[in-house]
Structure 1
Amino acid sequence: MNKKSRFTILSIAACIFTIVFAAGFAYSISITNASGITSSKVTNKGSENKAVDTKIKKLNSNSYNILVMGDSLARGTGDETNSGFANDFSKLWKSKTKKSIDVTNIAVNGDVSSGLLNIVKSKQTLQYVQDSNMIFISIGGNEIKNFKNSSTVPSAVQTDSLKTVENKYMKNLSDVFKLIRSRNQNSIIVFIGLYNPFGSELTEDKLELLNEWNYKTDQLVSSDDNAIYIPTYDLFKYNSGNYFAADNFHPNSIGYEAISKRMFEALKNYK
């Protein structure tokens, strides 16, 4: 093979590489710019995971629609069966409706109340809210991580700081409820209370703050005539050895199933 032929082959190869690289780079940019919100839609027939596109769409009005929002607990993180309390609950709720049950999960791992509020403000979420029969919310777990603060800051200063976090959380949660009710007055809102994932590592003063946090949340939820608060503190306090996943923060499948059963018991008289 002469030098001219080798040069021609190398030039062609270089062009092909450039085209492939450019296409791959463009594709990576398109992924980076895509929406970070994902939806897991589960029906009685099975499940699928797909990205929520930018087109505003309605849920199937012929189905019993359950919308799940909030943090990793709402997402089902830690459940080795990939079910979570929402899907466990939907299996129990089959006895209450002749419709197929669709579970749309827009929860975000690591989210806090301000993030949830931003999600609820979106047109897509408000459309989901409008078309939902039940709305499950779990939020606050990432905010109470501050309760385990072991810094040398004086306890009085820490308490004031945590109170500020609590007050902001309560305001965000109140705004979330207002937005939901602006689009759907009839949907049942089910709020999952917080448990203590830190066991004896949480000092008495921090436990008192956690209990106050739950109490105020319960009051806010209960002020809505069509909403219900589901406590979980006692479930995990007395079953910590069985209900936690390997990370000792999220529930495992047994823990999620316990939450779903409590939800069903609280809601079984609803139509």
Structure 2
Amino acid sequence: MQRKMYLFLASLFAFFIVGIGTVNADNKEKINLVAVGDSLTEGVGDTTKQQGYTKRTAKKLNKKYDVDVNTSNYGKAGDRSDQILARIKANSQAKKNIKQADAIVLTVGGNDLQQTLFKAVFSKSQSAVTKHVEQAMPDYTEHLTELTDFLKKQNKDAPIYLFGNYNPLYVYLANREDLNEDVKIYNDINANLASVDDRIYYVSTFKTLTFGQYKTKASREKLRKSSQNANRGSLNNKVVTKTLTAEKNVELNRYITTQDHYHPNNVGYDKMSTLLVKKMSGNKQDWLKK
């Protein structure tokens, strides 16, 4: 009886090991992850020198799928969509890495929107600000499409994970609902592009990074009333500039860095990488399978 039990357990163990081997045999042992974009790809605000979400994502993928991840980072702070494209086109190493990529990640649109908002901030009404944003949509749509088309031309197979943007001013200007809507206008362009292209996947960060620790409607309503009472809904450019450049060691959004009150901090980049890995897990056959 004991011998039969031993043989049964040994057979079961062998089946289990062979089964695992069969599953893992279909996976690549190493993948190339290429990150392209603006300051969010460069990792501004990250004090751990992990290039923001890039190396955090590599670590998470390694842990989740037991795959070695080689990363290449082509992020540069301040770049608009058209500037990102021009920079990548001029960089032979970047083009080589993109061609060899198993997955490409892109952050874009934040600087396009920011520059539009700063031009419109002296407008006499919130609707006038949004009108400026809407007028800039065709140019951004064209530039984003040119950028993604170039990436797809360089690499015929790798999926592209396109991040959305967030409103870093929300916690200070919570009663300026139009600013959230303006960010969503740009995010809709990113999301719509992904919806009609089976190689592009949209990764939303809006709720996570905009609201930070203010996760409930009640907490956000309290913040809105606080902002309104403090007259932080002003359209005056000086108010916005002061918010962004204030020298203080406290940031109301726990996911945003105190360095500039604009970019993610270490926690924020952890959140970004978690969202990215979750999205990548949904179509791992496109980048993990041999």
Query: What TM-score results when the alignment is normalised by the length of structure 1?
Result: 0.71
Aligned to 2:34, the other structure's residue is in SS state strand
Shift of 1:63: 4.2
Deviates more, 1:157-166 or 1:195-204: 157-166
Shift of 1:135: 0.7
Contact 1:132 1:187 (8 Å CA) reproduced: yes
Residue 30 of structure 1 is matched in structure 2 by none
Matched, 1:201 2:173: yes
Shift of 1:154: 5.9
CA deviation map 1:122-147 (0-9, x unaligned): 36133221111111111111222233
Residue 154 of structure 2 is matched in structure 1 by 183
Percent identity between the two aligned chains: 23
Contact 1:120 1:176 (8 Å CA) reproduced: no
Task: Evaluate the alpha carbon distance shift between residue 131 and residue 159 of structure 1 in structure 2; reply closer, same or farther with a 3 A threshold.
Answer: same
Task: Evaluate the alpha carbon distance shift between residue 152 and residue 172 of structure 1 in structure 2; reply closer, same or farther with a 3 A threshold.
Answer: closer
Shift of 1:156: 5.8
CA deviation map 1:210-253 (0-9, x unaligned): 21221221010232212211101100233152100011100000
1:256 to 247, 252, 269: 269
Aligned to 2:254, the other structure's residue is in SS state helix
Deviates more, 1:169-178 or 1:200-209: 200-209
Amino acid at match of 1:80: T
Matched, 1:90 2:58: yes
Amino acid at match of 2:97: Y
Contact 1:120 1:179 (8 Å CA) reproduced: no
Residue 242 of structure 1 is matched in structure 2 by 254
Root mean square deviation of aligned Cα:
2.3
Shift of 1:158: 4.0
Matched, 1:227 2:197: no
User: How many residue pairs align between the two structures?
Assistant: 211
For structure 2, the residue ranges without an aligned partner over 5 or more in a row are 1-27, 214-252
Contact 1:136 1:189 (8 Å CA) reproduced: yes
CA deviation map 1:43-62 (0-9, x unaligned): xxxxxxxxxxxxxxxxxx98
Aligned to 2:111, the other structure's residue is in SS state coil
In terms of fraction of residues, the more strand-rich structure is 1
Residue 46 of structure 2 is matched in structure 1 by 79
Distance between the aligned counterparts of 1:120 and 1:181, measured in 2? 13
Distance between the aligned counterparts of 2:180 and 2:69, measured in 1? 38
Bigger radius of gyration, 1 or 2? 1
Distance between the aligned counterparts of 1:98 and 1:244, measured in 2? 31
Query: What TM-score results when the alignment is normalised by the length of structure 2?
Result: 0.66
